[in-house]
């Protein structure tokens, strides 16, 4: 065991690691992702060859011994994303900045000032919260995330910022900058968010590889036109956005004229959207890649915006409660009735 180089305890019920783990002097890779781990042992400082430490999704993890991170000098990758560990001013920031070999980091961070301090850290996964700054606007930009985020950032979560009213996407006139590798975006518990503003760019350029998007408890949003323009989006989940009336609202868009709206979308999940009336209020969408549509407690939804030649790859539509399908009313409804579970 002393020669062990690779140890994977991910998705296990392990709550503590014994101090004897420090005897694994050859260990280079330690994966504790999605485990039940509560704390990291101080003995990890003895793992001088450790290069990869993954704890992402270990939601019970809430304790790291003082200076442990700073003493893991050979780390290439550190993932503490979606754990109980939060980086903020005075906690872990200087430790992280002292690691000169890092190639990728995942973390939860409290406040814009803390995130800006990590400007040059190669961020792969970031969950941003705000416990006391009362943020009303956030700019997703090079000055917040760092220029290197264009190539590194893969997952971004804006989480539980109750006063946030607008989210501004901007390249700050750096015309080549975008989040070219971002694959997942979460907007969670943002009850006052009204607008996502695209200041100087198109969504299709800024988020070219975004494949997964979840919008939850954003109760002030009324439309999500920009989401339809994302060229690689495959899964879209929208839940408990109580003011949302139409996903695409307003005048006919060029993307719809050209049949490019939701061109890669495979799964559309709509849950508890009491005021949603239609997907597209002006007409029909082709949904060329859609396979699954789920609708739960969307009491006023009447129009799925599916045409006679839409959704050629559709597998099923799930509706709960079932009587909601009976209340739907658009020209081609009966063409899709056989897909309803």
Residues in the chain: 341
pLDDT tens-digit map of 278-318: 999 888 899 999 999 999 999 999 999 998 889 999 999 99
Domain count across the chain: 1
Answer yes or no: is 332 within a domain. no
Distance CA 58, CA 264 (A): 31
- The tens digit of pLDDT for each residue in 232-276 reads 999 999 999 999 999 998 654 545 655 678 999 999 999 999 999
What's the pLDDT tens digit per position in 22-35?
999 999 999 999 99
Residue 292 belongs to a domain: no
Question: Domain range for residue 10?
Answer: 1-84
> Of 267, 261, 301, whose CA–CA distance to 285 is shortest?
261
Let me know if residue 39 belongs to a domain: yes
Cis check: omega of the bond before 321, within 30 degrees of 0:
yes
pLDDT in tens, 117-164: 999 999 999 999 998 768 999 999 999 999 999 999 999 999 999 999
Q: Is 102 left (phi over 0), alpha (psi -120 to 50) or beta?
A: beta
Scanning the structure block, which residue is given the tokens 């019920």? 13
The predicted structure's pLDDT at residue 223: 87
Q: Is residue 73 one of the residues assigned to a domain?
A: yes
pTM, to two decimals? 0.95
Residue 146 forms part of a structural domain:
no
What CATH number has the domain bearing residue 8? 3.80.10.10
Question: Does residue 47 belong to any structural domain of this protein?
Answer: yes
In degrees, rounded to 5, the angle at the alpha carbon of residue 150 between the alpha carbons of residues 193 and 85 is 60
Quickly state the pLDDT bin for 89 (edges 50, 70, 90).
confident
């Amino acid at each position: 065991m002393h020669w062990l180089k690779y140890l994977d305890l991910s998705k296990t019920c392990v709550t503590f690691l014994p101090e004897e783990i420090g005897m694994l002097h050859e260990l280079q890779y330690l994966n504790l992702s999605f485990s039940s781990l509560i704390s990291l042992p101080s003995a990890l400082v003895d793992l001088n060859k450790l290069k990869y430490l993954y704890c992402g999704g270990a939601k019970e993890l809430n304790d790291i011994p003082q200076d442990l991170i700073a003493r893991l000098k050979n780390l290439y990758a550190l993932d503490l994303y979606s754990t109980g560990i939060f980086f903020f001013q005075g906690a872990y920031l200087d430790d992280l900045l002292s690691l000169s070999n890092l190639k990728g980091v995942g973390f939860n961070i409290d406040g814009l000032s803390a995130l800006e301090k990590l400007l040059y850290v190669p961020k792969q996964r970031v969950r941003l919260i705000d416990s006391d700054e009362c943020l009303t606007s956030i700019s997703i930009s090079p000055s917040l995330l760092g220029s290197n985020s264009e190539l590194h950032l893969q997952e971004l979560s804006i989480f539980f910022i109750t006063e946030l009213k607008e989210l501004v996407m901007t390249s700050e006139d750096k015309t080549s900058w975008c989040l070219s590798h971002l694959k997942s975006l979460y907007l969670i518990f943002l009850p006052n968010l009204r607008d996502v503003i695209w200041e100087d760019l198109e969504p299709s350029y800024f988020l070219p590889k975004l494949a997964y998007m979840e919008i939850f408890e954003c109760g002030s949003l009324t439309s999500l036109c920009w989401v339809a323009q994302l060229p690689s989006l495959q899964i879209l989940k929208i839940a408990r956005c109580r003011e949302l009336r139409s996903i695409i609202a307003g005048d006919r868009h060029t993307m719809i004229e050209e049949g490019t709206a939701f061109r890669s979308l495979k799964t559309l999940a709509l849950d508890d959207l009491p005021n949603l009336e239609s997907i597209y209020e002006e007409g029909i969408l082709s949904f060329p890649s859609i396979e699954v549509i789920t609708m739960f407690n969307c009491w006023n939804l009447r129009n799925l915006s599916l045409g006679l030649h839409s959704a050629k790859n559709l597998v099923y539509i799930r509706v709960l409660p079932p009587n909601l399908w009976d209340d739907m009313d658009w020209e081609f409804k009966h063409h899709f009735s056989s897909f309803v579970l």
